[in-house]
Amino acid sequence: MPPRHSYGRVLVLIDETMQLELAPEIDQYIADLVSEGWTVTVKYVPRVEQFDGNKVKQMKELILEEYGKDPVNFSTVVLLGRVAVPYSGLIAPDGHSNHVGAWPCDMYYGSIYETFWTDFSVNNTSASDPRNHNIPGDGKFDQNTPGSEISFAVGRIDFYNMPKFTQGEIALLRQYLNKNHLYRTGQIAPKWRGLIDDNFGANRYINSFASSGYRNFASLLGPDNIVVADWFTTLKTDDYLWAYGCGGGTFTSAGGIGSTDDFVANNVNAVFTMLFGSYFGDWDSQNNFMRASLASKPSILTCSWAGFPHWYFHNMSANLPIGYSTKITQSNVTNYLGALYSFDSTRYYLVGQGLNQIHVALMGDPTLTLYSSAVPMPKSVSVVQPAGEFVHISWQPASEPVDGYFVYRSLSPNGDFVLLNPTPTKETSFVDSTLHEGTVYYMVRSFKVVENNSGTFGMLSRGAIQSAQITSVADNGTNLSFDISPNPFDNDINLKIYLPTSDFVKIVLYDFMGRELKSIINSHLASGEHNISFNFENLQVVSNSGIFFVKLFHSRGVETRKIVNIKKQ
């Protein structure tokens, strides 16, 4: 599988009250995203502590507005801080009659079909918690399922209403962003293994809740790297990339696993987690057990309520972000069969409690991948433009052997970074022959072929980025002139040069990627006008593009002209 150069455009919606408090951490987070191939848009939005249907609609309008600007590449939404929480449905995925009603529904932000979502039919106030009440016109939607595939991956990082963690919401967000950076840069590097703590048992319930752990871990980590052990006892001291735990639940606990208090008191050394039990899948509750996992130290970054329904993370083997797995799990009906049950061993029925329902949500950052630090970065990127010349990018090689490097260019610090060399270069330098006026950003990423349980993949390092002020038109202050005609040209071409004084001149033809193709002249010329004609076909140039550059080197600098061959357009 070829390397993935871009993950598309991510919209980061940030609680506006965090803008100043978390400025350094937010800047670092944006830089991390860009270096991994994301194009980043950041919007600061109103803080919404209590349910507000109008604010939910405003957030959706903003998301759809940004989607409309780049529908091909828009892929992901990150909710950071207390961003308005949508509610929808008349459901109780955990099966408890006192929990029937509207549940939190971040899935709504990932749906582009706005007219599908209505608020006129459900009328139910039976749930014990008023949050789950749903009546016509209250801003909570009627739908139990999304009605179509989810278009955008959505993940939430939200520590509102978590008073058990006495350091407070701002400190918890800061801690999360810092450990996010440490993981992305390889400074948090847990062992490649998964822990399972199943307190329901595989055979007691036809849903086999813990199969979400066994299936995913076998695919991602290998069956030999699955460990059955107690959650908190083990994770206090031993590190695991993944962990799954399930048991009878409350909003703040899972039987046989522990409680929110345990996340407060203990280090929990995992990164990607799944938890399952009654009630706490309704994550917008005080001291919620799932959100408590993200608030813990030192490393947990995601949590999903995996059991009703099962989750599917196998695509992460190809270094797809966890948000992609969230999206396919939310959209899944029959693509992946969580459990089949038979009463007579001949006819099997799909067991799908919670399947494709609106409560399915990711707690944590949807842009995270398994291999963000697997390939070493190039070092010390330098960008220079000698007077009148193309842009020269150079770098120091990665600390370990790699299979080449890719170079990218952007006119914005947050992307979109455009790939400049479709084939990885083994060199540690590159010439960009397309000049843009102003500040231009260049990124270099190492490339390496990696083999895992799912196959062989082209993996990329984080990007090393450098910028420079670029001039698109040479100005060397001489009276020398250099013209090419006709341009565009068919075959015959004429170079007209005027030299104010005699000079040694070299004229070289380059392709669109800045590679030298032919030396046309390399000699001393007298002052005055010189006409040099040649037949393009006679040069026997091999190029996939009809765009070329001719460079005139002389004692006072370099002149560059772009030419276009009609036959190749």
What are residue 13's phi and psi, to 5 degrees?
-95, 120
Does residue 557 carry a pLDDT above 80?
Answer: no
Q: Which of 8-17, 281-290, 360-369, 549-558 has the lowest mean pLDDT?
A: 549-558
pTM to 2 decimal places:
0.83
pLDDT, position 464: 97
User: Whose CA is closest to 83, among 13, 133, 21?
Assistant: 13
SS (H, E, C) 311-366: CCCHHHHHCCCHHHHHHHHHHCCCCCCCCEEECCCCCEEECCCCCCCCCCCEEECC
Q: CA 140 → CA 80, 190, 367, distances in Å?
A: 22, 41, 28
> Are 17 and 473 spatial neighbours (Cβ–Cβ below 8 Å)?
no
Give the type of residue at 230: D
> Are 7 and 36 spatial neighbours (Cβ–Cβ below 8 Å)?
yes
Distance CA 140, CA 161 (A): 20
> Are 355 and 328 spatial neighbours (Cβ–Cβ below 8 Å)?
no
Residue that the structure tokens 């009609």 belong to: 566
The first and second tokens of residue 241, run together, are 């990339």
Average of per-residue pLDDT across 198-222: 88
Distance CA 189, CA 202 (A): 31
Average of per-residue pLDDT across 308-331: 96
Q: Which residues contact 305 (CB under 8 A, 6 or more apart)?
A: 274, 275, 276, 280, 281, 283, 290, 359, 360, 361
The first and second tokens of residue 329, run together, are 């799990």
Cβ neighbours of 17 (radius 10 Å): 15
Confidence of residue 477 (pLDDT cuts 50, 70, 90): very low
Q: What is the mean pLDDT of the chain?
A: 92
Strands 272-276 and 242-246: parallel
Give the strand order in the sheet containing 481-485.
Answer: 481-485, 492-499, 528-535
Express each pLDDT in 233-250 by its tens digit: 999 999 999 999 999 999
Q: Which residues contact 284 (CB under 8 A, 6 or more apart)?
A: 85, 104, 131
Selected residue with higher pLDDT from 197 and 516: 197
Does residue 478 carry a pLDDT above 60?
Answer: no
pLDDT, position 260: 99
Selected residue with higher pLDDT from 124 and 510: 124
Query: What 8-state DSSP symbol labels residue 372?
Result: T
Express each pLDDT in 140-184 by its tens digit: 999 999 999 999 999 999 999 999 999 999 999 999 999 999 999
Percentage of residues in the chain with pLDDT exceeding 70?
A: 95
Residue that the structure tokens 């179509």 belong to: 148
Express each pLDDT in 95-104 by its tens digit: 999 999 999 9
Distance CA 322, CA 76 (A): 11
| End-to-end CA separation in angstroms for the chain | 30
Domains and CATH numbers, the chain: 9-364 (no CATH), 379-470 (2.60.40.10), 481-565 (2.60.40.1930)
Does residue 476 carry a pLDDT above 50?
Answer: no
SS3 of the chain: helix, strand, coil, percent, to 5 = 20, 35, 45
Does residue 411 carry a pLDDT above 70?
Answer: yes
CA 200, chain centre distance (Å) = 35
User: Whose CA is closest to 304, among 336, 279, 337, 273?
Assistant: 273
pLDDT, position 123: 98
Percentage of residues in the chain with pLDDT exceeding 90?
A: 73
pLDDT, position 566: 76
